[in-house]
Amino acid sequence: MTDRVINWFKYASPQTFYPLAGKLIPWFWALAALFGIAGLAIGFLIAPTDAQQGEGYRIIFLHVPASWMSMFIYLVMAFWAGIGLAFNIRLSGMMASALAPTGALFAFLSLWTGALWGKPMWGTWWVWDARLTSELILLFLYIGFIALQAAIDDPRRADKAGAILALVGVVNIPIIYFSVKWWNTLHQGASVSLTKAPSMAAMMLWGMLLCALACWMYSIAIALMRVRTIMLERERHTDWVRELLDEKG
Amino acid sequence: MLEASNLECVRGERSLFADVSFRLDGGEMLYLQGRNGSGKTSLLRMLCALTPAVSGEIRWRGAPIGKLGEEFRSELCYLGHQNAIKEELTPFENLLSAARLAQEVLDEEAALEALALVGLRGREDLACRYLSQGQKRRAALARLVNEKRALWVLDEPYVALDPAAVELVAGLIGAHLQAGGLAVLTTHQTVTVPAGAVRELWLGDGDATRRSR
Amino acid sequence: MLEASNLECVRGERSLFADVSFRLDGGEMLYLQGRNGSGKTSLLRMLCALTPAVSGEIRWRGAPIGKLGEEFRSELCYLGHQNAIKEELTPFENLLSAARLAQEVLDEEAALEALALVGLRGREDLACRYLSQGQKRRAALARLVNEKRALWVLDEPYVALDPAAVELVAGLIGAHLQAGGLAVLTTHQTVTVPAGAVRELWLGDGDATRRSR
Amino acid sequence: MLRAVIGRDLRLAMRRQADIVAAMFFFIIVVSLFPLGVGPEPDQLRRMAPGVLWVAALLATMLSLPRLFADDHRDGTLEQLALAPQPLGLIVLGKVIAHWLVAGLPLVILAPVLGIQFDLSRDALAVLTVSLLIGTPALSGIGAIGAALTLGVRGGGVLLSLLVLPLYIPVLIFGAGAVDATVSGLGPQAHLSLLGALALGGVFFAPWPTAAALRVALE
Amino acid sequence: MLRAVIGRDLRLAMRRQADIVAAMFFFIIVVSLFPLGVGPEPDQLRRMAPGVLWVAALLATMLSLPRLFADDHRDGTLEQLALAPQPLGLIVLGKVIAHWLVAGLPLVILAPVLGIQFDLSRDALAVLTVSLLIGTPALSGIGAIGAALTLGVRGGGVLLSLLVLPLYIPVLIFGAGAVDATVSGLGPQAHLSLLGALALGGVFFAPWPTAAALRVALE
Amino acid sequence: MHWNSFGEFLAMGSHGLYVWGSVVVMAVLMLAEPMLLVHGRKTLVARLKRQLRAEQQEAGANRSPSHHSHNAPRNTPQE
Ligand code: HEM
Ligand SMILES: Nc1ncnc2c1ncn2[C@@H]1O[C@H](COP(=O)(O)OP(=O)(O)OP(=O)(O)O)[C@@H](O)[C@H]1O
Ligand SMILES: Nc1ncnc2c1ncn2[C@@H]1O[C@H](COP(=O)(O)OP(=O)(O)OP(=O)(O)O)[C@@H](O)[C@H]1O
Ligand SMILES: [Mg+2]
Ligand SMILES: [Mg+2]
């Protein structure tokens, strides 16, 4: 009897989660657009010129949110993966798979915007410095996670294998974050130019935070959308998906 | 000793079997039957805790095998479709290293005798890659000769063996049962085990119902 | 059609068999018997010209097979201990690509029918890695359903098959013999082929005399 | 016939998907590792580039060699191929072509992109690509001999590299040499035509010894 | 128990003989290829040396990874190991140690000899050897995770390199960095102790996720 | 407002290429991702519907017991 209850939980959660996610998605899109417009407006229209870097510093409004998100999404992904591994909950595996592509996207954007920033500031697109390298490794970890899951047909096995990889890769996150502290490198430490002129800093900080919030909302919206697709695919033989498909005509 | 209740096995989108229950005590053998693809191998692997069951429970001496872990494994001897012998090593080396990995003591004399018993005299020191199909299977089965662990799980042990060897293996299983051991066995050949009680279990028709929850 | 004279097979320092001779005509089957390791597989591989014989000669339609080469191979269908199916491909793809490599025409309809006949309906599009042991063997044997080549050389075709499948394969061989084909077969199971004349050949006792020359 | 073999091998490669993508990734990663180990001065990087790219291409090809026949051998397909009514050499040719399409061509396509990373000039990039286009078939062909010779042999994959790498050295020298010659202002023609000769030999001559080696492996 | 696993794996390696010899030859050949591809100026060679030697060691290790569990998986031995009455992690530790003895240690022994070829100073040679001695166990340990994760998976060996190479990058950086630091007069201690931390993690932490991945592969 | 003219805005103090290069790539990718998702979801739903319809037809046309059990939903617990 207990088995049945556990089963019910296991299988029912996607079923209840699916419509809930569907309702939430538009709200997150709206918030993402709101914060994005506000942040970009502050960052690109209102915020003053940086004393040291000129106008080039405005890449910060893209680069920092992307970098933060790339690390943060990895943590969330590893969290879900770990939960899935420990408690064998189907939904968490799906969440991890749903987050990975977005995380990879942000890791790539962090590298891309960083490279475009590095050329005018450091005079080079790329250096093999600790933070840059560990961010690159992060991108490869995301790609490895996606490739590993794609290579395994059985979704349950794919979830578990991916979870192990994700958990092993977590060591990389503190390395990225603290690399500037542990090794003195070319890359900016904690916000050099922001402290220079406090009056400007407020605007910059606001722009940056709003952009980061926008990326956050975007990630949630995207992850929910993707997890819904994954659910449909994986649960296609369950009654609730069949009913859903029937309803849609 | 070994109890399974309401086991269900799902492969891909197929539910191979559901609600399989049985109980096996010392001196008894479970003879698992079914068409090709009906899930016999899958069930055996569940009994070894290699694959988790989708639902249902397996108990050994009253405790769920997932919890028991090493305790259960130290009483279990599994022989699968694969022979688990190294082609580069000789039958003698294979036998010894299998025993060592299972943390059993097997002296060289006993190993040589076991190999002679399964008909590999003169091949003890020939790398297994040169053995014939049946001789490889014999090399794998030589483990059973001195096997003292309580639960034997054998997946088509008779495959590729000639009639004399089949009889020999059946004899080994019989002796094991008589000593109070348990065995779970699948085979498509009709072979009678000389001793012990046999329970039969048929698995569904192999063309299982599509799964729907 | 197929004649072997005074074949000898040497493995390592052992002479497995010597002076093996036989003759096989259309509609006849050679049932090769012997203990594990007596050299059955070795003999079959010689008949396919995969291994050269130490001494003796094999002739097909009067000409030595070594000379015939491709001509002989285009009349030969061999199925060994190994299944020769790709685990990544589906049974359907395996069947089609085997036919294409053998330069036979096999349309998709016929392939699907053959797979259904050997009991793989519903598994046509599942990668072979997921099939059970017996289903893999069935996928390999599906080749025989539309096989028109004259000489079938089958090494333990019944291994891992359930009784229904064994009967089916025996039926296929019988039909082949009735159509004037030849077959050479080994097996440790007692299976009667429903049609055609059967010649038996026993290979030595497997524990062959140590070679001394 | 050729089409059947190529078709089958390509289908297998597609089925394993990751094969193609990951061979490219291996190439990318190896090429990117060197700046890591060596340091970032652009001048030095530029001088290293041809060597590094060619060595990486060579290693990427070599990594995929063991599977060229091993899978077919293990599951019995190789026996079936040897018993097919065509000359085994032709079948091998088909397999070599399929191998190049899966393991060689992607490298050719990637090379210019990676070359940019090393700050190579446009001319040098073009020559690099052409040299790989000519050279990689030779790698596949020569590699097939090694793969067949080491089939089912105890040494396995590593023995294979032992056999094949020395044979790859001429390809490496002419290939990297062509790019070097361009960088230093000399024409690449001489190197490229030698490479072309190697490629022709690799593709049309190598299948026959390979077939012979396969028959030996099957005995 | 550990001894049983290590003993068996070593015996297998000895039986295959070529394995050890050929891994070393691979290392030697890759290291020797670079001067061929890059050209013979001693100054440039000296600067390249740490990177090239470390990359070669990394690749040589990586090449031997796919066989770490694949052979055992194919012939059913892995199931037996998983069913043995010890924790699977311990067994994996044994296999990792055996792998290092077969694939790592020979590289450490060879490295100083090959370093001479690159005109390295005595100090740099010593640090190179020590860095390899500390670093190669990390390579074996980390590699085991990748080997277990890709076991029986469609992508096979190449997916393995995709997973493992990024994790190898820190080892490479610290390893080559230690030698570089010595060459440029800074002390190698900082790099070496980081390398040591990686090695400890690789050998004592990695077996557990590896064991988990193996159980998943066997399901 | 910080800018005096649109041209100045575009120039970004001579760093226009870098800044707008980042902005454009980021914008394109972040718009492409949801679009790809929506598209992928549409094709998936279409495929699933097709499969469902095919199954229902098969079940309707083929009343043989084995086929029937093939598609019959088993949502009641078997006791
Ligand atoms: C491809 C090159 C680059 C990569 C991979 C990269 C990566 C990162 C990462 C991961 C972060 C977030 C970590 C944290 O918040 O501490 C970050 C933050 C930051 N990056 Fe970069 N970066 C790159 C290039 C640059 C360049 C060229 C600059 C400026 C010259 C720069 C300036 C900053 C700043 C100011 C922050 C915010 C730091 C803070 O406030 O804590 N980055 N970068
Ligand atoms: N991904 C999948 N999708 C659908 N069916 C699958 C999948 N994986 C495995 N199967 C099926 O699961 C079954 C596995 O059966 P198993 O190996 O347990 O059979 P068995 O009873 O041991 O058969 P045999 O007598 O042939 O050894 C097979 O019928 C196989 O086709
Ligand atoms: N190098 C060698 N030295 C000694 N004996 C060898 C060597 N290589 C092979 N053999 C022996 O040759 C024989 C090969 O037999 P073969 O595979 O033909 O047997 P088979 O009749 O097909 O047996 P099975 O019924 O088990 O399939 C085996 O007895 C094997 O031990
Ligand atoms: Mg089975
Ligand atoms: Mg045989």
The tens digit of pLDDT for each residue in E72-124 reads 888 888 988 898 888 899 999 999 999 998 889 999 999 998 888 888 888 88
Q: Residue E191 to residues B55, D27, D40, E181: CA-CA distances in angstroms?
A: 51, 27, 19, 8
How many whole angstroms from E198 Cα to the centroid of ligand 1? 25
| Separation CA A158–CA A146 (nearest Å) | 10
| Separation CA A173–CA A219 (nearest Å) | 18
Hey, are the CB atoms on F78 and B19 less than 8 Å from each other? yes
Asked whether residue A25 is assigned to any structural domain, the reply reads no
DSSP C104: -
Token pair for residue F64? 């043989």
Residue C204, ligand 3, Cβ within 6 A = no
Token pair for residue B19? 């609600």
Q: What pLDDT does C138 receive?
A: 95
Contact E136, E100 (CB under 8 A): yes
Q: Whose CA is nearest to atom 27 of ligand 2?
A: C133
Average pLDDT over residues B154-177: 93
Reported confidence tier of residue B213, pLDDT bands at 50, 70, 90: very low
Domain count, chain A: 1
Q: Nearest Cα to E19, choosing from D159, B90, B86?
A: D159
Residues 6+ apart with CB under 8 A from F70: B207, B209, B210, F59
State how far Cα C114 lies from the chain centre.
18
Range of the domain at E202: 2-218
Domain count, chain D: 1
Contact B205, B40 (CB under 8 A): no
Residue B163, ligand 3, Cβ within 6 A = no
Q: For B81-101, how does the pLDDT look when each residue is reduced to its tens digit (9 = 90+)?
A: 989 888 888 999 999 988 888
Hey, are the CB atoms on B55 and A3 less than 8 Å from each other? yes
Judging by DSSP bridges, how do beta strands B55-60 and B2-11 pair with one another? Answer: antiparallel
Burial of B49 (0-12, 13-18, 19+ CB in 10 A): buried
**Amino acid of residue D5:** V
Range of the domain at F43: 27-60
Domain count, chain F: 1
| Separation CA D216–CA D73 (nearest Å) | 12
Token pair for residue E24? 């070393």
Q: Which atom of ligand 3 is nearest to the CA of C38?
A: 21
Average pLDDT over residues E205-213: 94
Hey, are the CB atoms on B36 and C159 less than 8 Å from each other? no
Q: Which of C129, C148, C167 is the last residue of a domain?
A: C148
What is the CATH number for B183? 3.40.50.300
| Separation CA D126–CA A46 (nearest Å) | 46
Q: What pLDDT does D159 receive?
A: 74
Average pLDDT over residues B151-163: 93
- Comparison of pLDDT for D56 and E37, the residue scoring more: D56
The complex scores an ipTM of 0.82
Instruction: Please identify every stretch of chain A with a pLDDT value under 70, giving residue numbers as ranges.
Output: 1-12, 181-186, 189-200, 248-249
| Separation CA A226–CA F34 (nearest Å) | 9
Q: What pLDDT does B159 receive?
A: 92
- Comparison of pLDDT for B101 and D26, the residue scoring more: B101
Q: Which of A137-151, B112-126, C44-58, F9-23 has the lowest mean pLDDT?
A: F9-23
- Comparison of pLDDT for F34 and E28, the residue scoring more: F34
Give the number of the ligand closest to the Cα of residue A174: 1
| Separation CA B185–CA B29 (nearest Å) | 7
Hey, are the CB atoms on B97 and E8 less than 8 Å from each other? yes
Domain count, chain C: 2
Say whether pLDDT at F59 is over 90: no
Residues 6+ apart with CB under 8 A from C106: C95, C96, C99, C100, C146
Do C1 and C52 lie in a common domain? yes
| Separation CA B147–CA B165 (nearest Å) | 17
Residues 6+ apart with CB under 8 A from C21: C4, C5, C6, C7, C56
Q: What pLDDT does B133 receive?
A: 92
DSSP B174: H
Q: What pLDDT does C210 receive?
A: 37
C181: left (phi over 0), alpha (psi -120 to 50) or beta: beta
Average pLDDT over residues C16-24: 91
Q: Which chain B residue's Cα is nearest to A1? A: B56
Residues 6+ apart with CB under 8 A from B95: B106, B111, B114, B115, B139, B142, B143
Do B144 and B157 lie in a common domain? no
Average pLDDT over residues C160-174: 93
Asked whether residue F41 is assigned to any structural domain, the reply reads yes
Q: Which of E181-185, E207-211, F2-6 has the lowest mean pLDDT?
A: F2-6
Q: For E43-75, how does the pLDDT look when each residue is reduced to its tens digit (9 = 90+)?
A: 777 777 888 888 888 888 887 888 889 888 888
Token pair for residue C185? 């077969």
Give the number of the ligand closest to the Cα of residue A112: 1
Residues 6+ apart with CB under 8 A from E67: D156, D157
Q: What pLDDT does E211 receive?
A: 95
Say whether pLDDT at C122 is over 90: no
Q: Nearest Cα to B144, choosing from B122, B167, B114?
A: B114
Q: For D118-157, how does the pLDDT look when each residue is reduced to its tens digit (9 = 90+)?
A: 778 888 889 999 999 999 999 999 999 999 998 877 656 6
Give the residue, out of C10, C16, C43, with the most ligand 3 atoms within 8 A of its beta carbon, to mutate for a pocket test: C16
Reported confidence tier of residue D11, pLDDT bands at 50, 70, 90: confident
3-class DSSP assignment, residue E47: helix
Average pLDDT over residues D39-44: 68
Q: What pLDDT does F69 receive?
A: 37
Q: What pLDDT does D21 receive?
A: 66
Q: What pLDDT does A98 receive?
A: 95
Average pLDDT over chain F, rounded to whole? 74
Q: Which atom of ligand 3 is nearest to the CA of B123?
A: 31
| Separation CA C161–CA E172 (nearest Å) | 52
In D39-155, alpha helices (H): 42-64, 67-74, 77-82, 88-99, 105-117, 122-149
Interface probe for C, chosen from B188, B202, B207 (most Cβ of C below 10 Å), is: B188
For residue D29, report the phi and psi dihedrals to the nearest 5 degrees: -70, -45
Range of the domain at C125: 82-148
Q: Which of A184-188, C87-91, F62-66, F67-71 has the lowest mean pLDDT?
A: F67-71
Q: For D143-202, how does the pLDDT look when each residue is reduced to its tens digit (9 = 90+)?
A: 999 999 988 776 566 677 778 888 888 898 899 888 888 877 888 888 899 999 999 988
Q: What pLDDT does D13 receive?
A: 72
Average pLDDT over residues B67-78: 89
Average pLDDT over chain D, rounded to whole? 83
Calculated CA dihedral for residues F33, F39, F40, F44, nearest 10 degrees = 160
Interface probe for A, chosen from D16, D25, D27, D33 (most Cβ of A below 10 Å), is: D25
Average pLDDT over chain B, rounded to whole? 88
How many whole angstroms from C12 Cα to the centroid of ligand 3? 9
Residues 6+ apart with CB under 8 A from B75: B60, B149, B150, B151
**Amino acid of residue D37:** G
Q: Nearest Cα to E107, choosing from E171, E143, E69, E55?
A: E55
CA atoms within 13 A on the CB side of F72: 12
- Nearest CA-CA distance, residue D168 and chain A, Å: 30
- Nearest CA-CA distance, residue A67 and chain E, Å: 18
Q: What pLDDT does C132 receive?
A: 93
Q: What pLDDT does D79 receive?
A: 87
